[in-house]
Amino acid sequence: MASAAAAVALFAACTQQKPVVELTESGLNPEQFVDTVGGIPMKLITLKNANGMEVCITNFGGRVVSIMAPDRNGNKKDVVLGFDNVKTYEDKVNHPSDFGASIGRYANRINQGKININGEEIQLPQNNFGHCLHGGPDGWQYRPYEIVEANQQTVLLKLVSPDGDMNFPGEVTAVVIYTLADDNTLDICYEATTTKTTIINMTNHSYFNLNGNPDEAITNHELYVNADNYTPVDSTFMTTGAITPVEGTPMDFRTPHAVGQDITNFDFEQIKNGNGFDHNWCLNTNGDDKQVAASIYSPTTGIFMEVFTDEPGIQVYSGNFLDGTQSGKGGYIYTQHAAICLETQKYPDTPNKSNLPGWPNAILEPGQTYTSHCAYKFSVK
């Protein structure tokens, strides 16, 4: 009798299978993105549009994890770098990264980490060649954003940065809204308010590879930048204060051509200083986000991506410091030039150079609302 009961129990246990976890189209397991950080639940948000395009986002760092875009044959490719679980994103000691992040408070570099607000000099963290990069070592890419609302095509994320966070003044409430439109545009809107005079400059730091294969470098990508000028940098990647014409230099992408054409032309001082392309271009669009600010195209897949923004600048970073120490989705090892970043922004070190001709302003006052818009539109050629 006892053995019969045991057999029944064994049969019941064998037939009670665990629910099958449905993977995203990019192969991500949503369960690998469940966690709690700072009391805020983490999860993977999946956006889909009428064309079946898919974008996956984690609210840890407000990061884009994957973008499945169709190639010229209608096959979808994952065109951004990233990790396949939230724990790796959280581990900034062993896996430091900006992959896909909503960067703040101040994207890019601030000279020696010093700013002056209302006559007071403030020392920010120095985490990159003596400069403050991307808000410091504990910038918003390592912070939990709250999911305020989400539906099939839109997610609204919110982050509250306390007064004195990384020594930046003012409590800042920031919002990032991702929308996957039916024309295959990933639209990103930023808003922020502050309790004290502060500076702000938000951007998205997605690493794009339109080949859909990080083993195939982006040196074959054809890059276009709608800019007559750029801001040169010194050997520490800091802007000099100059605004220089691209005419007659390897910085001229007004006619699309391969990123790899001059990427190792270290005879040109700016490419030597940037170890490739890692510069801000001064856009000709004058804040008109209906004009194309930049584009990239993969002749391998036919995937074409246009960038639209109301910001005055765009940082083009050609993945120069990817060195094979990071292993990402699908087990790919991310080596030099495995991706390219197109970061819409105020110019680097604007807080210290806004008094120079042609430079923007990054000050946000109480009672004002900071806004910024960026859109990545995918199609095929």
Question: What number of other Cβ atoms are within 10 A of residue 113's Cβ?
Answer: 20
Measured CA to CA in angstroms, residue 88 lies from 32, 60, 97, 208, 327 at distances of 10, 11, 9, 19, 10
Closest alpha carbon to 106 in 187, 161, 40, 148: 161
Q: How many residues does the chain have?
A: 381
User: Encoding tokens for residue 40?
Assistant: 């805020």
CA dist., res. 30 & res. 235, Å (int): 42
- Indicate the SS3 state at residue 296: strand
Closest alpha carbon to 321 in 139, 128, 132: 128
| 231 strand-pairing partners | 280
CA dist., res. 85 & res. 362, Å (int): 34
- Active-site residue, from 54, 306, 311, 343: 343
Is 131 annotated in the active site?
no
Residue at 141: amino acid letter: Q
73: buried, middle or exposed (CB in 10 Å: 19+, 13-18, 0-12)? Answer: exposed
- Active-site residue, from 54, 131, 134, 205: 205
Contact 303, 212 (CB under 8 A): yes
DSSP code of 23?
Answer: P
Is 205 annotated in the active site?
yes
Measured CA to CA in angstroms, residue 2 lies from 6, 8, 139, 248 at distances of 6, 10, 62, 89
DSSP codes of every residue in 51-75? T--EEEEETBTTEEEEEEEE-TTS-
| 340 strand-pairing partners | 208
C-alpha dihedral sign at 164, 173, 354, 343: positive
Residues labelled as active-site residues: 205, 343
